[in-house]
């Protein structure tokens, strides 16, 4: 272990996760894919107790910068978004829902308003449905969906009136 200890503390691991996101942000597809796989493994670790490390993995996945320009990049973009959406919808308790609330902003940051229209429309619709249905326990999940909706919407969007209605 590079730290000289038998176990690496959660704070060091969290900063390493953020570092993976930054490395992937400026790297080629192969490195981005490797970083994503490591971060996905961290996020999926059921034995992980550190909330900070889960948040770091979510935020780092949102920092990876796959584009839709090439097929391999598009595939990686879709995998990042699907993993974040799947984690966001897991039936977790109130303490973990605060962590889940980081996923919508990571999704929106990854797509932005100018991402592939089909993906932007899909995730905007997902957040609209989340706000319309109102079946979640945590207000943090709704707050994050509202922020993501704002990041994914423009005045020109066909469902803009629906966005305004739901937000009001």
Residues 119-139: tens digit of each pLDDT = 999 999 999 988 888 777 789
Residue with tokens 């308003």: 113
The confidence score (pLDDT) of residue 3 equals 64
pLDDT tens track for 37-63: 999 999 999 888 889 999 999 999 999
CA–centroid distance for 107 within its chain = 4
Give pTM, 2 decimals: 0.90
Q: Residues 83, 38: contact at Cβ < 8 Å?
A: no
Q: How far apart are CA 18 and CA 77, in angstroms?
A: 18
């Amino acid at each position: 272990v590079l730290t000289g200890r038998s176990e690496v503390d959660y704070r060091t691991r969290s900063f390493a996760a953020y570092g993976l996101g930054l490395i992937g942000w400026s790297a080629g597809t192969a490195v981005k894919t490797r970083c994503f796989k490591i971060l996905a493994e961290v996020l999926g670790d059921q034995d992980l107790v550190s909330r900070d490390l889960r948040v770091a993995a979510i935020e780092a996945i949102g920092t990876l910068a796959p584009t839709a320009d090439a097929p391999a990049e598009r595939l990686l973009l879709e995998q990042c978004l699907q993993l974040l959406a799947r984690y966001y919808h897991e039936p977790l308790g109130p303490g973990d829902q605060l962590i889940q609330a980081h996923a919508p902003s990571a999704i929106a940051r990854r797509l932005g308003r100018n991402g592939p229209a089909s993906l932007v429309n899909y995730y905007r619709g997902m957040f609209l449905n989340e706000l319309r249905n109102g079946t979640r326990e945590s207000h943090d999940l709704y707050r994050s969906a509202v922020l993501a909706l704002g990041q994914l919407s423009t005045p020109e969007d066909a469902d803009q009136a629906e966005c305004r209605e739901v937000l009001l």
